Amino acid sequence: MAHDCPLDKDQLGFHSWNLLHTMAAYYPENPSERLKQDMETFFLLIGRLYPCETCARDFAQLIDSKPPDTSSQSALSRWLCWVHNQINTKLGKPLFDCSRVNERWRDGWNDGSCD
Flag whether 11 is in a domain: no
In a domain? residue 97:
yes
Query: pLDDT at position 2, please?
Result: 76
Average pLDDT of span 72-84:
98
In a domain, 111, yes or no: no
pLDDT of residue 3: 80
Give residue 96's domain range.
16-105
Tell me if 25 is assigned to some domain: yes
Instruction: Output the domain CATH number for residue 82.
Output: 1.20.120.310
Domain-located, residue 100: yes
Report pLDDT for 67. Answer: 97
74 domain residue, yes or no: yes
- pLDDT tens-digit readout, 48-73: 999 999 999 999 999 999 999 999 99
User: What is the rounded average pLDDT of the residues 2-29?
Assistant: 94
Per the CB < 8 A criterion, the answer to whether 63 and 80 are in contact is no
In a domain, 83, yes or no: yes
Q: Determine the pLDDT at residue 58.
A: 95
Q: Does residue 10 fall inside a structural domain?
A: no
Is 48 exposed, middle or buried (CB count within 10 Å of its CB: 0-12, 13-18, 19+)?
exposed
Contact call for residues 22 and 103 (beta carbons, < 8 A): no
Confidence of residue 107 (pLDDT cuts 50, 70, 90): very high
* Domain count for the chain: 1
| Residues whose CB falls within 8 Å of the CB of residue 35, separated by 6 or more in sequence, listed in order | 27, 28, 70
Let me know: does 16 contact 87? Beta carbons within 8 Å. Answer: no
